[in-house]
Amino acid sequence: MHADTARQTISRSPLVLEGLVKNFGGVTAVAGVDLEVASREVVGVIGPNGSGKSTLFNLIAGMLPMDEGRVWLDGKEVTGQPAWRIARAGLARTFQIPSLFDNISVHDNLMAAAVESGDWKRAPHRAKETMEMLEISHVADNLASELSGGQQKLLEFGRVCMRDPSVILLDEATAGVHPNIRRIMLEAIRRVRDSGATFLVIEHDMEMVREICDRIVVMDAGQVVAEGSFDEIADNIEVQKAYLGRQV
């Protein structure tokens, strides 16, 4: 109890994780992760397939119950709260698998993202701005299911922007997209960061990691095995072990 109070008063970082653990039956997907992300920082999470990155995101977002650990958002503890409450506390996320609202338009996807955040009267205007920023205005009236893979990724990010969150989790936001779309996404992420948001991003694309991440966290078998700048990580032995025999 004492330590908790200390933790809360000392750290007002946008995101603080303490000892997160998640088991799936016999598999320990996340095995004690501690992490603190500073305001406006972009932290990259890398690691081989199955190392627990997405599971970590699901724990933070309250989409999976955790076995152990605690989470603070903007200095407020959100451990064990339902996903919608954590979202309202200022967290936004994208999903690794596209998870758009398929049967409504692009414009309406953005509107639906804003229902619980901010000034509803301004939502149409913000949707318009967001579509312009992401260069998807021309498909505003298309159903989300009619978009190309890259446009879907942009729309996922657009929904995040509509929420005006303080912490953003991106799970492979640019995986497999055209370089053009990657450029749009990159610029959008920078803009949102500059306006005050903090990022935790899972990325497989090292070019992307180098360009946007201030700091990198390497996960392997559910644990953080290395942490540092891109250059530090690039010649780190643990990282090479984690990726041994795999394509980075």
Partner 1 sequence: MVSKLSRSRFSGVLASFVGLVILAVLPGFVDPYSLRIVTGVLMWAGLACAWNIVGGYAGYISFGHSAFFGIGAYVTGILMQRDLGIPFLATLPLGILVAVGVAAAIGGPTMRLRGAYFAIATWAFAEMLMQVAIILDITGGTAGLSLPAYLNEFFFYYTMLVVALLAYLGTWYLLERTRFGFRLKALRDHEPAAEAMGIHTTLVKVQAFALSAGITSLFGSIYAYWVTFIDPRSVMGPEITDQMVVMVLLGGLGTVWGPALGATVLWLINRYIWSELGDTTIYLPILGLIIAMIVLFLPNGLISLLPGGRRGGGLMGRLLRKL
Ligand X SMILES: Nc1ncnc2c1ncn2[C@@H]1O[C@H](COP(=O)(O)OP(=O)(O)OP(=O)(O)O)[C@@H](O)[C@H]1O
Interface residue list for ligand X (CB under 6 A): 24, 27, 29, 47, 49-55, 96
111 binds, among ligand X, partner 1, Mg ion, none (CB under 5 to 8 A by kind): partner 1
Q: Write down the least CB distance from residue 96 to ligand X, Å.
A: 6
| Residue ranges binding partner 1 (CB under 8 A) | 61, 63, 82-85, 87-88, 92-93, 95, 99-104, 108, 111-113, 115-117, 120, 143, 145, 159, 163
Residue nearest Mg ion (C-beta atom): 54
Structure token digits, residue 211: 């360009």
In whole angstroms, how close is the CB of 58 to Mg ion at the nearest point?
Answer: 9
Is 54 a residue that touches Mg ion (CB under 5 A)?
Answer: yes
Q: Which of the choices partner 1, ligand X, Mg ion, none does residue 83 contact, using the CB cut-off of 5 to 8 A by kind?
A: partner 1
Kindly state the number of chain residues that form the binding site for Mg ion, as judged by CB under 5 A: 2
Q: Which does 68 bind (CB under 5 to 8 A by kind): ligand X, partner 1, Mg ion, none?
A: none
